[in-house]
């Protein structure tokens, strides 16, 4: 058999911001395409335009770009199999649905919502599996005329044959569905709008998708999609190969939700996570590169990613691990890269306005905090003390320097620092150690703690002596004096 070019798609229905689960799928799709030298298709499944808005679609596009998951076919870049928004492909679904009716693979179903509910009720009462009972499968011409005359708007239903569907999932192995549990399903609503099962299957065929890597929650829709391929006349050897990725669970092993970990990727972006850290961490949710390797680059991910290394058991979301990876990625940045990431956070927080002097000072200050932070959002509070116009000690730190011992520490520090020759972090440290630790026999935490609060306004700051050097002699001394 010819080796087919790999074509994978990420096909979200953005009814909100993309979340961790969506992006884990997108990442695996992208990595698989890049690993195999195949094509990564990005398709927007927006047939439900009440819930999928233009704004969410744009946000999804922006999120993928921000993460560096570039696509070869899809919105903005186009491609030979477009359009890539399902709302622009409605005529295709209508054409195929009509063909299925003609082939008798599908039929019109006139049952009303109340009638369907009554069927479900009866099934529940009889302890039967719920699902359509096939009432309209074989209507006579007279019955159809009667229903039409009543003004009923039919849906189009796919006829599921007796028997079952078996396919080989790359992650789960052989999976079988008994059609007793896969009732005839709706392809097109009474108003003519297509359902997911129809649109997804038609598009996967028309876009020549070879591999469907997606969340396990969609496993049960696979036999229905295979039924659509059959009705489209696709040969079994040309069906896309399925790989259903394991669930991502929250920290407490229940379904991932806002409460136990999941928040939108937009939230992580705002909270100061680097795209590379998010991708690195999400890559480990259900896949492992082997050798206990945990810190990997996007390039390594594409080199190492294989579906064989995806687990079938659920993965657990661990915020602490994501934080640790984010810290590692921040430390690995060059100062210029770090600057690029830090500046928007500093300007948005109103810490700097972006003058050349400010930028020069930020550049000097960043190396002293790079080792200490886990998210970019920690930068503004850490560096604020260098830029504030009206300096004041934080309300919660003020009591910590109001006692007599702290006052003494500040007084001695002021006197010693005043006569200090050159103002470097080494000389500042030398003189303060001599006076406070050796001279006053204080513990460093107590002694330097008071100076830290007086100079930076907070008990949490970058390293003290470097901070004082950056702040400069005049401001440092003026702040200590003001605290006295």
Task: Specify the stretch interacting with ligand GLU by CB under 6 A; choose among 10-18, 138-146, 229-237, 405-413.
Answer: 10-18
Residue of the chain from 12, 21, 154, 286 that contacts ligand GLU (CB under 6 A)? 12
69 binds ligand GLU (CB under 6 A): no
Q: Footprint of ligand GLU on residues 88-147 (CB under 6 A)?
A: none
Q: Report d(CA 271, CA 440) in Å as an integer.
A: 42
The answer to whether 362 touches 343, Cβ cutoff 8 Å, is yes
45 binds ligand GLU (CB under 6 A): yes
The residue among 243 and 315 lying less far from ligand GLU, judged by its C-beta, is 243
Whether the bond between 373 and the residue before it is cis, its omega within 30 degrees of 0, is: no
Q: Report d(CA 135, CA 119) in Å as an integer.
A: 10
The residue among 182 and 401 lying less far from ligand GLU, judged by its C-beta, is 182
11 binds ligand GLU (CB under 6 A): yes
Task: Specify the stretch interacting with ligand GLU by CB under 6 A; choose among 9-17, 146-154, 312-320, 434-442.
Answer: 9-17
The residue among 230 and 458 lying less far from ligand GLU, judged by its C-beta, is 230
B/e letters for 111-145, b = 16+ CB within 10 Å, e = fewer, are: beeeeeeebeeeeeeeeeeebbbeebeebeeeebe
Q: Footprint of ligand GLU on residues 171-210 (CB under 6 A)?
A: 200
Distances (CA, A) of 60 to 17, 18, 23, 228, 261: 7, 6, 10, 28, 20
Q: Of 179, 156, 193, which Cα lies nearest the Cα of 226?
A: 179
Distances (CA, A) of 427 to 59, 110, 317, 416: 51, 88, 47, 11
Task: Specify the stretch interacting with ligand GLU by CB under 6 A; choose among 8-16, 106-114, 161-169, 308-316.
Answer: 8-16
Backbone angles phi, psi at 470, to 5 degrees: -65, -40
219 binds ligand GLU (CB under 6 A): no
Task: Specify the stretch interacting with ligand GLU by CB under 6 A; choose among 7-15, 91-99, 345-353, 455-463.
Answer: 7-15
Taking the complex as a whole, the smallest distance from the CB of residue 89 to ligand GLU amounts, in Å, to 14
The residue among 155 and 200 lying less far from ligand GLU, judged by its C-beta, is 200
The answer to whether 21 touches 215, Cβ cutoff 8 Å, is yes
Q: Of 47, 62, 63, 40, which Cα lies nearest the Cα of 15?
A: 47
The residue among 13 and 210 lying less far from ligand GLU, judged by its C-beta, is 13
Taking the complex as a whole, the smallest distance from the CB of residue 77 to ligand GLU amounts, in Å, to 19
For the annotated catalytic residues, the residue numbers are 258
Strand extents, DSSP E, 262-406: 315-316
Residue of the chain from 24, 34, 157, 214 that contacts ligand GLU (CB under 6 A)? 214
The residue among 272 and 286 lying less far from ligand GLU, judged by its C-beta, is 286
Q: Report d(CA 408, CA 400) in Å as an integer.
A: 13
The residue among 17 and 276 lying less far from ligand GLU, judged by its C-beta, is 17
Taking the complex as a whole, the smallest distance from the CB of residue 108 to ligand GLU amounts, in Å, to 26
Task: Specify the stretch interacting with ligand GLU by CB under 6 A; choose among 5-13, 71-79, 348-356, 395-403.
Answer: 5-13
Taking the complex as a whole, the smallest distance from the CB of residue 240 to ligand GLU amounts, in Å, to 10
Q: Determine which helix (DSSP H) or strand (DSSP E) holds 176, and give its type and residue range.
A: strand 173-178
Phi-psi region of 315 (alpha: psi -120 to 50; beta: other; left: phi over 0): beta
Taking the complex as a whole, the smallest distance from the CB of residue 20 to ligand GLU amounts, in Å, to 14
Total site size for ligand GLU, rule CB under 6 A: 7
Q: Of 368, 371, 378, 374, which Cα lies nearest the Cα of 345?
A: 378
Structure tokens at 288: 């492992």
Q: Residues in the site for ligand GLU, rule: CB under 6 A?
A: 11-13, 45, 200, 214, 218
């Amino acid at each position: 058999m010819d080796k087919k070019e790999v074509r994978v798609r990420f096909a979200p229905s953005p009814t909100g911001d993309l979340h961790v689960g969506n992006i884990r799928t997108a990442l695996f799709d992208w990595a698989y395409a890049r690993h195999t030298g195949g094509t990564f298709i990005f398709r927007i499944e927006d047939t439900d335009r009440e819930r999928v808005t233009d704004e969410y679609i744009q946000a999804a596009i922006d999120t993928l770009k921000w993460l560096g998951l570039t696509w070869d076919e899809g919105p903005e870049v186009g491609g030979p199999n477009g359009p890539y928004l399902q709302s622009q492909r409605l005529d295709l679904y209508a054409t195929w649905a009509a063909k299925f009716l003609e082939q008798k693979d599908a039929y019109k179903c006139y049952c009303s919502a109340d009638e369907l509910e009554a069927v479900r009720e009866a099934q529940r009462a009889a302890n039967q599996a719920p699902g359509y009972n096939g009432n309209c499968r074989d209507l006579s011409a007279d019955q159809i005329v009667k229903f039409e005359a009543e003004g009923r708007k039919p849906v189009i239903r796919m006829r599921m044959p007796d028997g079952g569907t078996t396919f080989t999932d790359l992650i789960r192995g052989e999976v079988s569905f008994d059609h007793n549990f896969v009732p005839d399903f709706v392809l097109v609503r009474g108003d003519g709008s297509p359902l997911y099962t129809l649109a997804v299957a038609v598009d996967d065929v028309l876009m020549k998708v070879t591999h469907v890597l997606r969340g396990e929650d969609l496993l049960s829709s696979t036999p229905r999609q295979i039924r659509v391929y059959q009705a489209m006349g696709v040969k079994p050897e040309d069906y896309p190969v399925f790989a259903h990725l394991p669930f991502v669970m929250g920290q407490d092993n229940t379904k991932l939700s806002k409460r136990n970990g999941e928040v939108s990727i937009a939230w992580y972006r705002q909270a100061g996570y680097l795209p590379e850290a998010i991708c690195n961490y999400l890559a480990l949710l259900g896949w492992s590169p082997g050798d206990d390797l945990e810190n990997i680059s996007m390039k390594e991910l594409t080199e190492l990613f294989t579906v064989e290394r995806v687990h079938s058991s659920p993965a657990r979301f661990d915020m602490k691990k994501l934080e640790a990876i984010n810290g590692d990625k921040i430390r690995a940045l060059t100062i210029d890269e770090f600057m690029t990431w830090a500046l928007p956070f500093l300007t948005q927080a109103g810490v700097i306005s972006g003058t050349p002097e400010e930028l020069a000072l930020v550049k000097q200050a960043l190396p002293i905090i790079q080792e200490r932070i886990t998210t970019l959002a920690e930068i503004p509070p850490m560096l604020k003390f260098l830029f504030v116009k009206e300096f004041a000690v934080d309300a919660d730190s003020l009591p910590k320097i109001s006692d007599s011992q702290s006052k003494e520490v500040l007084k001695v520090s002021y006197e010693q620092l005043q006569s200090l020759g050159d103002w470097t972090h080494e000389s500042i440290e030398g003189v303060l150690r001599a006076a406070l630790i050796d001279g006053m026999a204080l513990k460093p935490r107590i002694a330097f703690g008071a100076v830290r609060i007086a100079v930076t306004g907070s008990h949490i700051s970058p390293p003290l002596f470097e901070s004082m050097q950056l702040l400069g002699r005049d401001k440092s001394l003026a702040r200590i004096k003001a605290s006295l």
